[in-house]
Amino acid sequence: MRFCYTKNEWTRKIEQLEGFNNNNFVHSFFGPLTKEQIGMFTYKHANHQLRHFEV
């Protein structure tokens, strides 16, 4: 898989999260999360993955 394709997919998915609104969202490990907590979790997870794979 080419990085350009992967980068475009990540960008598209992150843009989709901007409008995410589910007040009843429950993470399987962390439990109920607010919209702000979901945003922070997503950022931290993406940042970790990008650093892990040295992107």
Please report the DSSP string for 3-51 in residue order. Answer: HHHHHHHHHHHHHHHHT---TT-EETTTEE--HHHHHHHHHHHHHHHHH
- The structure tokens listed for 43 are 């950022």
Rounded Cα distance, 27 and 25, in Å = 7
Q: Using a cut of 0.85, tell me whether the model's pTM lies above it.
A: no
7-30 confidence digits (pLDDT tens)? 788 788 888 888 887 888 899 999
Rounded Cα distance, 29 and 35, in Å = 16
How far is the CA of 40 from the CAs of 4, 10, 31, 34, 43, in angstroms? 25, 16, 15, 10, 5
38-53 confidence digits (pLDDT tens)? 888 888 988 898 888 8
